[in-house]
């Protein structure tokens, strides 16, 4: 019996396209390692070139005859084009720089470009396995870096570097969150998909990744993955009896976790969230978290701002929140523009006693950034891209679970626009689709 690889001819360009895609992902995952080796910081922008280049190469060279694959690729491409239109309308309306529009678009749309790229490659079994192996090795390197930082160099003990267990995201402000997010994404993917490995080994890898988020003190990562699972379960509810059982089990888990955070040293940092007095309509946490929605409308000069925001990079997304300021010497000559509301919101954060307590309370989070920059039309166009991926690419519950964790992260901080995390998740979702495709074709060929 022949395998899919043996019955599928190797066409020119396939290996090149998959390699180019992996190189693009590498430039998003490892730039901080490169800059630590004294390579110029401009390398942090390299993925903005390599990812679209890889996508263009795949779309131009692909000779796929799979009608379903072609239809999905066209639908994703259309959603990307619609989002591009919204971004540039917002930029024109608000006189934002062209570089603002390009960077904001890429920061938000790049994960969907990666998914489009992976879905459009007519992978053979060999290419799929090589692609998957590279991604998983990158995740293992991230975890290895974190363990070395913690148990060899004890970097968390250095003054001012308490959050310095960052894996491969060295020197990045929220690097510890990104490292923990990648670790848990990898943990779930490996546990669910590595069926050829013994269960005990998969559990060991999962626990090692779980310990990564403990030693890096990334409380919001655990919150996001738990919330994502709850959302997935609610979406899939079919049996009321099982629902009640899971609710009881969930209540028991929360009770045990509540006890643990007050009695186990590793978990005591979670107590920062358990302050009932800071929540509610007038609570400090509520006022700080919603500051963007209170301050941004004060700068609206037209009803169109409700639809298209204040312009790409002009409010609290990653670009306007800190990226423009960090790379101002590089971006200013290219015509970058800034808006005063960004600094006003930062002043609000600095003035609050909760401002440096946890990113859970931060007003600079993903959905607020999209709304502030691009308005309700921007949110709508972004959710349309997400819907297309959910509907046509998320063919497994785990892929849907990853999408839901990203949604929860968007309520907390800026992970939607952090390439190291968002592109890693996108690659997991794309590989999930390819896995089902290859398995289906293999079964078909085995029956011939």
Tell me how many degrees the CA angle 428-57-99 measures, rounded to the nearest 5: 85
CA 386 to chain centre: 12
What's the confidence (pLDDT) of residue 2?
Answer: 40
Distance CA 223, CA 229 (A): 10
What's the whole-model pTM score?
0.90
Q: Which residue positions in the chain have pLDDT lower than 70?
A: 1-15, 159-162, 265-274, 276, 444-448
Cβ contact 169:32 at 8 Å: yes
Residue 1: count other Cβ atoms within 10 Å of its Cβ: 7
Distance CA 182, CA 142 (A): 8
Distance CA 43, CA 52 (A): 16
What's the confidence (pLDDT) of residue 116?
Answer: 97
Residues in the chain: 448
Distance CA 199, CA 201 (A): 5
Cβ contact 78:392 at 8 Å: no
Distance CA 63, CA 70 (A): 10
């Amino acid at each position: 019996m022949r395998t899919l690889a043996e019955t599928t001819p190797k066409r020119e360009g396939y290996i090149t396209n998959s390699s180019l895609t992996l190189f693009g992902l590498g430039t998003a995952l490892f730039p901080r390692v490169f800059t630590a080796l004294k390579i110029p910081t401009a390398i942090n922008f390299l993925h903005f070139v390599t990812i679209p280049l890889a996508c263009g190469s795949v779309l131009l060279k692909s000779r796929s005859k799979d009608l379903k694959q072609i239809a999905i690729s066209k639908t994703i491409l259309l959603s990307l084009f619609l989002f591009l239109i919204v971004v540039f309308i917002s930029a024109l309306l608000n006189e934002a720089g062209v570089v603002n529009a390009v960077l904001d678009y890429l920061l938000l749309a790049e994960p969907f470009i990666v998914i489009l790229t992976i879905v459009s490659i007519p992978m053979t079994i060999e290419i799929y396995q090589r692609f998957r192996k590279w991604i998983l090795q990158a995740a293992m390197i991230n975890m290895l870096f974190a363990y070395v930082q913690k148990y060899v160099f004890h970097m968390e003990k250095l003054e001012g570097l308490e959050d310095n267990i960052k894996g491969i995201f060295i020197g990045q402000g929220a690097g510890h969150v990104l490292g923990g997010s990648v670790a848990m994404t990898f943990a779930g993917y490996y546990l669910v998909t590595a069926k050829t490995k013994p269960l005990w080994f998969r559990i060991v890898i999962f626990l090692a990744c779980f310990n990564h988020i403990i030693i890096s003190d990334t409380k919001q990562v655990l919150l996001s993955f738990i919330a994502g699972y709850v959302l997935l379960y609610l979406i899939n509810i079919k049996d009321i009896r099982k629902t009640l059982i899971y609710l009881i089990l969930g209540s028991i888990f929360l009770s045990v976790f509540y006890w643990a955070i007050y009695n186990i040293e590793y978990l005591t940092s979670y107590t920062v969230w358990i302050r009932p007095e800071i929540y509610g309509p007038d609570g400090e946490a509520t006022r700080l978290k919603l500051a963007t929605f209170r301050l941004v409308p004060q700068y609206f000069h037209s009803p169109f701002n409700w639809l298209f925001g204040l312009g790409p990079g002009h409010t609290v997304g990653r670009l306007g929140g800190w990226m423009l300021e960090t790379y101002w010497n590089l971006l200013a000559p290219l015509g970058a523009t800034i808006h005063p509301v960004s600094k006003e919101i930062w002043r609000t954060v600095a003035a609050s006693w909760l401002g440096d307590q946890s990113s859970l309370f931060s007003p600079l989070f993903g959905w607020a950034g999209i709304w502030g920059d691009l308005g309700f039309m921007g949110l709508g166009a972004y959710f349309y891209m997400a819907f297309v991926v959910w509907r046509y690419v998320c063919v497994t519950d785990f892929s849907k679970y990853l999408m839901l964790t990203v949604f929860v992260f968007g309520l907390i901080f800026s992970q939607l626009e952090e390439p190291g995390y968002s592109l890693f998740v996108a690659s997991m979702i794309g590989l999930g689709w390819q896995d089902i495709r290859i398995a289906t074709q293999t079964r078909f060929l085995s029956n011939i």
